[in-house]
Structure 1
Amino acid sequence: MTLKTIVAAAVASTVIASPVMAQDRSDWPGNFTVGTASQGGTYFAYGSGWANFMAENLDISGGAEITGGPMQNMALVHTGDLKFGLTTMGPARESREGNSPLAPGMKMDNVCAMFPMYQTPFSITALSSSGIESISDIPDGATIGFGPAGSTSDTYFPRMMETLGVDFERRNGSWSDLGGQLQDGLIDVVAFAAGIPIPAVSQLEVQTDVNIIGMNDEEAEKVINNFPVSEFIIPASTYQSLEEPSRVVSMWNFAMANCDVSESLVYEMVKLTMENNDKMVSIHKAATTSVPENYDKNTVLPWHPGAARWFNENGYEIPEDQIHN
């Protein structure tokens, strides 16, 4: 091989390996932060790993921020306090319509979709020693932990429990804290809504015996008829404590950006995320569904122009009227 050939090959490989570096980055921020949720939950693990992945490959400083979850993330991204965040479709719809309990009447319409993440199953965990093996076993007046105030779980799970006739006392806190309270006998049940496997549940079952509780036919049908959720099966392999698949309900999650964020930055972030699913799965197993085919699960948020450009270039049609103008 001649010297000229070697040099030409080296230049070509450099161009292929660093396409982002060659483009105009004048409208990119010097750093970014993604709003996640509490420690011990899937949002924090997924969001932290994603931020690090973006930072390493785009040569931009980035990290995750602990927040109250989807509702608060919608507010923070809408106002521009955070450029990126993670949200669930239910809270996203309520926030866009001005029905967020954090800012009643404020229509949070400066939030744009980036890419699909995963479904959030709603599942219940109790200590095996409690004798609670089904939703109907939850005693009247039981103290139930619903996650951080304003989270997807806190927004919907109490309503679901009321619909199913459960009488309870409400407790809020981070997933890690509530898991500790359950283990110490300070609360009776934790009603989790997070991508699986939930770190706090995995930690709990290593330390003690737990029951992971699903829904029967009647309970699932009643919840699906009253809330923006669909049926979901938690595979038995998800947790050591499951002997068979557990039927619950779930809601889709999407990554989002403030609509004013640089189109080219969002394009590169979506490209990295959608074209490297193996890396995303190494960050969190829930990312097995963080694939472009699930773009159509977004029925709430307008698409960021940078995200829409990547999807349309790769054969996933997003109509013009669904793209933020």
Structure 2
Amino acid sequence: MRYNKMTALAAAAIVTATAGHAQDMSDWPASFTVGTASQGGTYFAYGSGWANLVAEELGISGGGEVTGGPMQNMALVHTGDAAFGMTTMGPAAESLGGTNPIAPGLAMDKACAMFPMYQTPFSVTALSSSGITSVADIPDGARIGFGPAGSTSDTYFPRMMETLGVNFERRNGGWSDLGGQLQDGLLDVIAFAAGVPVPAVSQLEVQTDVNIIEFTEAEQAAIMEAFPVSSFEIAADTYTTLEAPARSVSMWNFAIANCDLPESFVYEATNVVMSDNARMVNIHRAAQSTVPENWDKNGVLMWHPGAARWFQENAGADIPADMIYGG
């Protein structure tokens, strides 16, 4: 493992009364990072927020790190270069199966489930001045921004567009950068896969008129048949532009932890996030789904023993022993 250890001298004397009992921290890391994604996306805002919350509550130095998103986060957490990270279930499954493009053939089985985050809706945004109000309106050869290379959006949205018969030029970049390119006329469309509200979309709404484009029922059905997603509605009050809920599809996100992190550390970090949802919602509204009962949305990753114990003790989670790392 590459996470930093406290010096033996300091660690021997440290205990904390976290969760109402004396907690030995001697094997805890002195600092940690949370792999997020690009600035302007939900992962960065959400991940930096919970990293800071855990650091403050547990008295450990920690923070969010800008990354390429779920695929890179799986790799960073697997190797221990990041203690924690965030991923969607699709990239998690591909990483476990050895098809992560960062390290083809490597089964990234040292990244364990920590806690449920929220669903990532897939949505399309264009400037109102473009006249694009539906997927069918996207012109042949349109320049579409799909987010950072290797992100959930970049992994799945191009395939979804191809499934829907859209021909396009693929562009990559951070969400804030792509938002600027859309506003400057360098892109025709941005295909977002991020928790809502997406900061970059909210910023665009302040600066210009945009169309947030929903899928038709037929388009939604075609995508759900071809990809590991479920139906989703973006609530009308998510953006000022929306006058009614927007039909979409979504994929669940989970926080992940390196499987070799100390059980007590991951238990307490999970407790900080899951025990007070109001604090998480203050960080980002997508955290309304960061609640204990959504533990069952993970059917892909092995659970970290510390996280599994928290959900078993506090949410009545019936996690099979063979789904707990080392169990």
TM range (shorter): over 0.9
CA distance in 1, matches of 2:302, 2:233: 29
Q: Which aligned pairs between 1:100-111 and structure 2 lie closer than 5 A?
A: 100-111=100-111
1:85-134 CA-to-partner distances (Å, cap 9, x unmatched) read 00000000000000111111011011100000000000000000000000
- In structure 2, the residue matched to 1:76 is 76
What TM-score does the superposition give when structure 2 sets the normalisation length? Answer: 0.93
Relative to structure 1, is the Cα distance of residues 18 and 218 closer, same or farther in structure 2, using a 3 angstrom cutoff? closer
1:22 deviates by 2.8
- In structure 1, the residue matched to 2:318 is 317
Q: Secondary structure at the match of 2:68?
A: coil
Q: Secondary structure at the match of 1:270?
A: helix
Relative to structure 1, is the Cα distance of residues 183 and 20 closer, same or farther in structure 2, using a 3 angstrom cutoff? farther
1:243-285 CA-to-partner distances (Å, cap 9, x unmatched) read 1110010000000000000100000011111111010000000
Q: Secondary structure at the match of 1:39?
A: coil
CA distance in 2, matches of 1:134, 1:160: 15
- In structure 2, the residue matched to 1:140 is 140
Amino acid at match of 1:59: G
1:276-323 CA-to-partner distances (Å, cap 9, x unmatched) read 101000000000000010011001000000001111112112111110
1:121-165 CA-to-partner distances (Å, cap 9, x unmatched) read 000000000000000000000000000000000000000000000
What TM-score does the superposition give when structure 1 sets the normalisation length? Answer: 0.94
1:18 deviates by 4.7
CA distance in 1, matches of 2:241, 2:18: 45
Question: Matched residues, percent identical?
Answer: 72
Deviates more, 1:310-319 or 1:299-308: 310-319
Pair 1:165-2:143 in alignment: no
CA distance in 2, matches of 1:197, 1:73: 22
Q: Contact 1:70 / 1:91 at 8 angstroms: preserved in 2? A: yes
Amino acid at match of 1:170: R
1:178-222 CA-to-partner distances (Å, cap 9, x unmatched) read 000000000100000000000000000100000000100110000
Q: Contact 1:20 / 1:268 at 8 angstroms: preserved in 2? A: no
Q: Contact 1:270 / 1:310 at 8 angstroms: preserved in 2? A: yes
Amino acid at match of 2:169: E
Q: Which aligned pairs between 1:222-237 and structure 2 lie closer than 5 A?
A: 222-237=222-237
Give the number of aligned pairs: 311
Pair 1:183-2:153 in alignment: no
- Which protein is bigger by CA-based radius of gyration? 1
Relative to structure 1, is the Cα distance of residues 317 and 187 closer, same or farther in structure 2, using a 3 angstrom cutoff? same
Stretches of structure 1 that go unaligned for 5 or more consecutive residues are 1-14
- In structure 1, the residue matched to 2:122 is 122
Q: CA RMSD in A?
A: 1.3
1:19 deviates by 4.2
Q: Contact 2:16 / 2:25 at 8 angstroms: preserved in 1? A: no
- In structure 2, the residue matched to 1:25 is 25
- In structure 1, the residue matched to 2:193 is 193
- In structure 2, the residue matched to 1:9 is none
Stretches of structure 2 that go unaligned for 5 or more consecutive residues are 1-14
1:229 deviates by 0.2
Q: Secondary structure at the match of 2:24?
A: coil
- In structure 2, the residue matched to 1:250 is 250
CA distance in 1, matches of 2:311, 2:237: 32
Pair 1:94-2:90 in alignment: no
CA distance in 2, matches of 1:261, 1:40: 29
